[in-house]
A and B are shown apart, each in its own frame.
Chain A
Amino acid sequence: MEQRRAQHLYLRTGFGESLEKVRSALSLTRSEVLNEIIDASKTCSNLLIVPSDYYLKANKKNASVEERKAIGKIQNEYNLNLNLSWISKMCTSEETLREKMTLLWHGHFACMDDNPMHAQNLNNTIRQCALGKFSDLLVAVSKEAAMIQYLNTRENRKASPNENFAREVMELFTLGRGNYTEADVREAARAFTGWNYDEAGTFKFHEKDHDTGIKEVFGKRGNFTGEDILSLILERRECAAFIAGKFYTWFVNDTPNKEMIAKISKDFYESGYDILHVLKKLFNSEVFYNEANLGVKIKSPIELIVSTARMLKLEYTNPFPLIYVQTAMGQHLFNPPDVAGWKGGQNWIDSTTLLYRLNLADKIMKATDVKITAKPDNDSIDKRDVEDLQKMNNLSVSFDRNNMMDLLAGKQYEEIKKELCSFLFQIKDFSEISSSIGTLGEKSFTQKEFKELCVRLMSFPEYQML
């Protein structure tokens, strides 16, 4: 397949690949490369940062003030490492489609829990179900301790219903606004009463809190349970349409294509919400590879951080500053702005974030100070810890695995520049950029010049696109 379309496939289904890997795809067909990508994601490896007996050590009941502080510190460290280990996984894993889908669902089922065990469990559940049936994913996510905590399902009891989860599950996770009524929300909330979890973070149904009365949802009456409500939601085609729209805008183009979304939606519904089934069709479609859909999406901050590492085969050897890099660009993993997740597209961009993004390649390649005054965007992070962390704001990066110099050896500067432009940019015509950079003159082309050229190119807005 053609180089730009191979890069497109790698960038959209994952986080981009090295020049070496892109070149090896050139002798294969589109479907061969796609099959490789899908096969590589058949396995699933979880994040294993927080031990399963965490809750025994982190029990704040009967703990002294000092002990509580210590527990808080451990909690923060786990949360930090959880974030960084996921970034690292995205940078190195072969299960790229699975990780990309985990990232999609992480924003879709936006949730925040200070408890790192809950956060890890939810993330792994999403990862396990990421490519299976959406129905399984929805039920599993709804029963995760993190979600029950975040949307107050735990406080939703027969005597005092709390509508938070019932509302958000319809508005943001399945149907979208306009496809349910206020009455549906209130009645569904009654059905979710009794949903709870134990100290190990395992789902528990508390029968005494459950409202066993008749509820009326979507015009149907019955003594519904929470599971029944999720089934009633999934029976509605609006749910398939809502998720299909998400797939299209996430993988193809920010501007919805109604006809294509209708096709995906129908397929999705009729296949019993089979995620991989519809994705495979989408990635094999002509629409996916259409010129109008190449290089037209703005990289999310995580896509920018991860694809830079994957494409250049570099490793973040001191990854701690990446927490601040995420915050500054507006996408801090495990800390979505709200339950609606990150809006994406042009919403990533304003004057401040754009400047930060354009500067990022320079900071990464030169391993300089990432200079951010981050405010804690999560109540659990102690201000003092943040200050400690800010001292560690020098990114350090290893280029040991980068073999682009070897791949481009023997070529003239102009040719190298052209090769780099076609590799780093997904736009069709980069002649203006290429000519604005000028020539190297008589100087020899060393590792240093190579890096400088990369930084120069990666500072163009075109590098922000995928």
Chain B
Amino acid sequence: MTSALAFAPGFLKGSSGKLFTGEENKHVVVVQLTGGNDGLNMVVPFRNDIYYSLRPEISVDSKSVLKLNDDLGLNPLMNGIYTLFQEGRGCLINNVGYPNPDHSHFRSMDIWHSASGSNNYIQSGWLGRYLDENCEHDCHPYNAIEVDDTLCLALKGEHVKGLSVKSPDQLFSSAGNKNIASIHLADHLSKNNNLDYLYKTLSETESSVGYLKKQKDKSHVHAEYPKGQFATNLQRIAQLIGADSDIRIYYVSLTGFDTHVNQIERQNKLLGELSEGISAFMNDLKTCGKENEILMMVFSEFGRRVKQNASNGTDHGTANNVLLFSGDLKQKGVYNEPPDLRKLDDGDLKFTVDFRSVYATVLRKWLGANDRTILGNTFETLNFI
């Protein structure tokens, strides 16, 4: 915290000089599985006959699963994550969803991003509103970083938007261009809403770039990561955490889970990438003594239909599992009951845990934030942390 203040004089204006209320040195890493991950083939109900009868061609062999308990086992390609569970660093929540689920990718992702119900529309994201809510004085885009080309709705608050950075070097050189550096930014106000938005974004960007530069200079490589963009992105996050950055939220995606056709090969490849990346990341943080400071949450916009379709794939479904990783979990392993395949809702899994309960838990118990204001409602908190 102190190091961050040195680079951001704006924060010193306030009385306490503290940027965030709530817990210090706690970070959240969100991993989004885009496209609708088939949770039933990731965490397999390997003793359930209904699962095998509804998925004659695409089920995962019960003998090959990595057993988490008597009912559920991880996909055999997820050895890395399996080890994390064995070491008590992972937690699995089943049947996470919301009432009146939407089968559209975009709408369901919007619901997860904005933390709205399925019948109301909110134009800001839950993590963006966390920024809004928790900035005592001034807030900066870099307090929430998405490692990607573009910024998703989850990180867009009503007042503050996070920063998307895929390649830090590219960001630094763009900001350094003399024509841009010399643009007069102070108090730009016209009646042109979109133009003002460009000026506001530019001004915020400049202060964030300055901060990230300092943090990059302080960071160093700790560990080996597997090849591929996903693992590289996690490595960048680990480096920023290692440099004691004042970044509360990190956000990263792995895409390609919309497996309507020939699911197995495609999903297996992605699950392997997910597992190896997360395992390298958690081990890296453990080595540098930071694994108790982070909580990682892995989610997808929905799960998939229990019954396979005729193309050896699965169609859009509803409730799904959420994975959590941290060195500081209160409840480890399988958190709740497995999906009940006997009681389906028109072929889809029924949710038993509202995703906003997971959010409320993360906000209140991990970040020390006011979950009620941010989520606009009270949701029961869970006991995994």
Measuring CB to CB, which residues of chain A are less than 8 angstroms from any residue of chain B? 152, 155, 157, 159-160, 162-164, 167-168, 171, 177, 182, 254-255, 295-298, 327-328, 330, 338-340, 345-346, 349-356, 358-359, 362, 371-373, 375, 379, 427, 432, 436, 455-456, 459-462, 464-465
A460 near B183 (CB under 8 angstroms)? Answer: yes
Q: List 30 A-B contacts (CB under 8 A).
A: A152-B260, A152-B311, A155-B260, A160-B309, A162-B310, A163-B103, A167-B103, A167-B104, A171-B107, A177-B107, A296-B193, A328-B149, A330-B150, A339-B106, A346-B194, A349-B198, A350-B163, A351-B151, A351-B201, A351-B205, A352-B149, A352-B166, A355-B175, A359-B174, A372-B170, A379-B256, A427-B195, A461-B195, A465-B194, A465-B195
Q: Which residues of A contact B4 (CB under 8 A)?
A: none
A462 CA to B197 CA, complexed, in Å: 11
Within 8 Å by CB of B149, from A330, A358, A460, lies: A330
Residues in B neighbouring A459, C-beta threshold 8 A: 177, 179-180, 183
| For the complex of A and B, 3 pairs with smallest distance between CB atoms | A459-B179, A160-B310, A355-B174
CB of B199 within 8 Å of the partner chain = yes
Residues of A within 8 A of B313 (CB): 155
For the complex, give the distance between the alpha carbons of A179 and B101 in Å: 17
Does any Cβ of A come within 8 Å of B377's Cβ? no
User: Are the CB atoms of B177 and A362 closer together than 8 Å?
Assistant: yes
B105 to chain A: closest residue by CB? A338
Q: How far is the CA of A47 from the CA of B83 in the complex (A)?
A: 53
Q: Mark B110-142, 1 if CB is under 8 A from A, else 0.
A: 000000000000000000000000000000010
Contact with A along B200-236 (1 / 0, CB 8 A): 0110110011000000000000000000010000000
When distances are taken between beta carbons in the complex, the residues of chain A under 8 Å from B342 are none
State the Cβ distance, A384 to closest chain B Cβ, in Å.
13
Q: Which residues of A contact B170 (CB under 8 A)?
A: 371-373
Contact A163 B315 (CB under 8 A): yes
Given contacts A352-B164, A353-B150, contact A155 B311 (CB under 8 A): yes
The answer to whether A354 and B104 touch (CB under 8 A), given A371-B173, A373-B170, A465-B192, is no
Are B192 and A461 interface neighbours, CB within 8 A?
no
**What residue of chain A has the Cβ atom nearest to residue B233's Cβ?**
A375
How many residues of B are counted as interface, with CB atoms below 8 angstroms from the partner's CB atoms? Answer: 50
Closest Cβ of chain B: how far from A370's Cβ, in Å?
10
- Give the distance to chain B from A302, nearest Cβ to Cβ, in Å: 16
User: Are A296 and B161 touching (Cβ within 8 A)?
Assistant: no
CB neighbours (8 Å) of A355 from chain B are: 171, 174-175, 180, 202, 205
Partner of B183, one of A157, A327, A427, A461: A461
Given A295-B192, A460-B183: A351 touches B199 (CB 8 Å cut-off): no
- The answer to whether the Cβ of B63 comes within 8 Å of any Cβ in the partner chain is no
Q: Are B164 and A350 in contact (CB under 8 A)?
A: yes
Shortest beta-carbon distance from B185 to chain A in Å: 10
Query: Which of B149, B166, B194, B208 makes the CB contact (< 8 A) with A298?
Result: B194
In angstroms, Cα B102 to Cα A168, docked, is 13
> With A155-B311, A371-B170, A427-B192 as given contacts, are A461 and B198 in contact (CB-CB < 8 Å)?
yes
B167 touches A (CB below 8 Å)? yes
Q: Which of B171, B183, B192 contacts A352 (CB 8 A)?
A: B171
Task: Mark B residues whose CB is within 8 Å of A.
Answer: 103-107, 141, 149-151, 161, 163-167, 170-171, 173-175, 177, 179-180, 182-184, 190, 192-195, 197-199, 201-202, 204-205, 208-209, 229, 256, 260-261, 309-311, 313, 315-316
4 extra interface residue pairs, beta carbon distance < 8 Å, beyond A155-B261, A355-B174: A152-B311, A177-B104, A346-B197, A459-B183
Question: Are B198 and A152 touching (Cβ within 8 A)?
Answer: no
* A194 nearest CB across to chain B (Å): 14
A160 to B164 Cα, complex, angstroms: 41
The residue on B at minimum CB distance from A455 is: B179
Contact of B260 (CB < 8 Å), options: A162, A462, A464: A162
Collect the chain A residues with CB atoms within 8 Å of residue B103's CB.
163, 167, 182
Docked complex Cα distance between A364 and B4 (Å): 37
Closest to B266 in A: A379
Q: Which residue of B lies closest to A437 (CB)?
A: B182
Residue among B195, B208, B260 making CB contact with A351, cutoff 8 Å? B208
State whether A354 touches B201 (Cβ < 8 A).
Answer: yes
Partner of A297, one of B194, B199, B204: B194
Most chain A beta-carbon contacts within 10 A, residue among B174, B175, B205, B209: B174
Q: What residues on A are CB-neighbors of B310 within 8 Å?
A: 155, 157, 159-160, 162
A373 CB contacts on chain B under 8 angstroms? 166-167, 170
**A residues less than 8 Å from B193 (CB atoms):** 255, 296
What residues of chain B lie closer than 8 Å to A465, measured between beta carbons?
192, 194-195, 198
Task: Say yes or no: A359 contacts B149, CB within 8 Å.
Answer: no
Q: Which residues of A contact B179 (CB under 8 A)?
A: 358, 362, 455-456, 459
**Residue among A352, A362, A461 with the most chain B CB within 10 A?**
A352
A180, B204: Cα distance in complex, Å? 42
A33 to chain B: closest CB distance in Å? 25
Nearest neighbor of A340 in chain B, beta-carbon distance: B106
Question: A155–B263 Cα gap in the complex (Å)?
Answer: 14
Closest Cβ–Cβ distance, residue A359 to chain B (whole Å): 5
User: Which of A177, A350, A356, A460 contacts B201, CB < 8 Å?
Assistant: A350
Closest to B227 in A: A383
Asked whether, in the complex, the Cβ of B163 is within 8 Å of the Cβ of A352, the reply is: yes
